[in-house]
Structure 1
Amino acid sequence: MVDSSFDLDSELSSLPKEKWLGDDYLFQLGGFWHLPQAIHVNRVINQFQPLPSDIISASFPEAGTSWLKALLYSIINRSSKHRLTVENPHSLIPILEVRKLCLDRPKYAHFLTYEELKNDPKNHVKNLAEFLGCPFEGEDVEAQVQDIVNGCSFEVLSNREVNKAGGFPSRIAFIPSNSFFRKGFVGDYEEHMSAEVVEKIDALIKEKFHSFGFIYRV
């Protein structure tokens, strides 16, 4: 629940600003410079009062976010999952862009990596449904799960017309819908990083996040 009386223009007028790109300005808040929409997000977060039924999806960009959103929407809204044929997953689940929380309070947080989801999508879809409080039921559970896995697959989503054309306007640039769908496989890092760099990253992750149960392979 968020205070709907928040006036972004009034808020921006009270903050220091500097010229950025084109006609855009950056605004200073909390010692940092932000785009206008970030000011709004910051205020929303500060005012946000979560309800027990709220679901917050948090993921790194280019790490299966579109796929996860499609799965979440399909699991929760099974009777209307056909909307994914005409709407981008990001339109259906707006962007609000931790492991320790998942370990300490597993009832309230579910941790999932892209690699795990790619390796065993059916079981992870079942686990997500259980976590969300809407488990699959009936004699055709496997068929229900497979239907969602198929409908939210990279091949299906990336080839839908709604995800090949159009996009999302922003203050910085127009974001094409197809930019949310890249290659859809694990291991693309090998095209951009040497084995030595990968080893260094793995070692750093192991050092910093070993106690949280992270895997140590990029």
Structure 2
Amino acid sequence: MAPLQAPPAPNGSKHFKGDELAEERDFISSLPTEGGWLHQYQGFWIPSTFMHGFLSFQRNFQAHDTDILQATAPKVGTTWLKAILFALMNRVCYPDLQQHPLLTKNSHELVPYLDMILYNKETVPDLDHSVSPRLFSTHLSYKLLPTSIKDSTCKIVYLCRDPKDTFVSYWHFLNKKELTMVKNKDYSFEEAYDMFTRGSSAYGPYWDHVLSYWKESIEKPQKVFFLKFEDLKKHPIAHLRRLAEFLGCPFSLEEEAKGTVDDISRLCSFDNLSNLDVNKNEKSPLLTGIRNAILFRRGEVGDWKNHLTTQMVEIFDRITEEKFHSIGLKF
């Protein structure tokens, strides 16, 4: 059976007409669903709230060769990496870290989601005049990215995390009372575990998401920078240097002498970001009506040991071994 295809983009229009939106709604309603808030498209599960944004992004976005795209599955350290990338790319503009935008703005506001925010509207955004290099983010698998991204020389930074820690963080996030996209449902740990290991998680299956970027990072290392949360947590300074090199803005000898790398590492650390007023008390630009605090929990490695049973660990490890053994990826 041929895969379902999304309706065509509006004919040269920047504004979706009523009949176009109706056709799109009919298409979305024809897709497999899970839990009343996920739709499956080409093997991956997209939150219903963001399906319009995903489809509009996929068919309308035109990549520039100078673009930088951050890609992650949910709950792998996305907010942290956004802060790091913004600080690295804009350090010439903001040399005084005491006056840095990250101190007063959440990193999701500074590095916006293409599918979840910019394209999730009834108009197609005009991004052509944004200052270059443009810095964006997405939760989509590489498989679902627009063709223009794949065909361009834009760079992608991908972050992943031990599947067990990813799941634990994901479960805590699902049960935040503010999350209306999950229909105010309380997911038991066992229920969420079953969905996650079956692949029915937001933007999952998680293992296939990781594999999609791992494959591209091996085939096109100049295009896709593949990074593990655990490595970034253990050796932040070394990986900040590697990221700066990949992004085309390596640290100068003068910056090294001044301790700029260490300063950025401290600015973007989980402890510093999570304790800023903007991230504790202000409203989220990502999820309407809730505080940014929902985006921060513990930011630790190995928290799964406090939640998973022995049997759950065995099943997680078996799936990870089956999926990643042949490519040598370990956590």
> Which category describes the TM-score, using the shorter chain as reference length?
0.7 to 0.9
Asked if structure 1 preserves the Cα contact closer than 8 Å seen for 2:109 and 2:286, the reply is no
* C-alpha distance 88-8 of structure 1, shift in aligned 2 (>3 A): farther
**2:86 partner letter:** Y
Asked if structure 1 preserves the Cα contact closer than 8 Å seen for 2:280 and 2:293, the reply is yes
1:122 aligns with 2:140: no
Aligned to 1:62: 75
Asked if structure 2 preserves the Cα contact closer than 8 Å seen for 1:122 and 1:149, the reply is yes
**1:175 partner letter:** I
**1:146 partner letter:** D
Q: Mean Cα displacement is larger for which, 189-198 or 83-92?
A: 189-198
Q: Which runs of 4+ in 1 moved over 6 A?
A: none
Aligned to 2:48: 35
* C-alpha distance 213-174 of structure 1, shift in aligned 2 (>3 A): farther
Aligned to 2:101: 83
Query: Which of 266, 270, 275 lines up with 1:154 in the alignment?
Result: 270
Query: Which of 289, 295, 309 lines up with 1:194 in the alignment?
Result: 309
Aligned to 1:144: 260
Aligned to 1:206: 321
Aligned to 2:20: 11
**2:62 partner letter:** Q
* C-alpha distance 169-117 of structure 1, shift in aligned 2 (>3 A): closer
Asked if structure 2 preserves the Cα contact closer than 8 Å seen for 1:103 and 1:212, the reply is no
Shift of 1:15: 3.9
**2:298 partner letter:** K
For the residues of structure 2 that align with 1:197 and 1:8, how far apart are their CA atoms? 48
1:94 aligns with 2:112: yes
For the residues of structure 1 that align with 2:13 and 2:110, how far apart are their CA atoms? 21
Shift of 1:41: 2.4
**SS of the residue aligned with 1:214?**
coil
For the residues of structure 2 that align with 1:74 and 1:158, how far apart are their CA atoms? 16
For the residues of structure 2 that align with 1:8 and 1:186, how far apart are their CA atoms? 47
Aligned to 1:21: none
* C-alpha distance 47-140 of structure 1, shift in aligned 2 (>3 A): closer
Question: What per-residue deviation string (whole Å, max 9, x for no partner) do you get for residues 52-89 of structure 1?
Answer: 11111111222111110000000000132600000001
Shift of 1:149: 0.3
**TM, length-normalised to structure 2:** 0.56
Aligned to 2:227: 112
Unaligned residue ranges in structure 2 (runs of 5+): 1-11, 33-38, 40-46, 114-137, 140-212
**SS of the residue aligned with 2:68?**
coil
- Which structure would you say has the larger RCO, counting Cα contacts within 8 Å and 6 or more residues apart? 2
Q: Mean Cα displacement is larger for which, 59-68 or 194-203?
A: 194-203
**TM, length-normalised to structure 1:** 0.83
Unaligned residue ranges in structure 1 (runs of 5+): 18-26
* C-alpha distance 30-214 of structure 1, shift in aligned 2 (>3 A): farther
**SS of the residue aligned with 1:110?**
strand
For the residues of structure 1 that align with 2:264 and 2:49, how far apart are their CA atoms? 37
Asked if structure 2 preserves the Cα contact closer than 8 Å seen for 1:67 and 1:154, the reply is yes
Q: Mean Cα displacement is larger for which, 37-46 or 131-140?
A: 37-46
* C-alpha distance 8-187 of structure 1, shift in aligned 2 (>3 A): farther
**2:51 partner letter:** A
Question: What per-residue deviation string (whole Å, max 9, x for no partner) do you get for residues 20-53 of structure 1?
Answer: xxxxxxx726635573642132121122222111
Tell me the number of residue pairs that the alignment of Structure 1 and Structure 2 aligns. Answer: 204
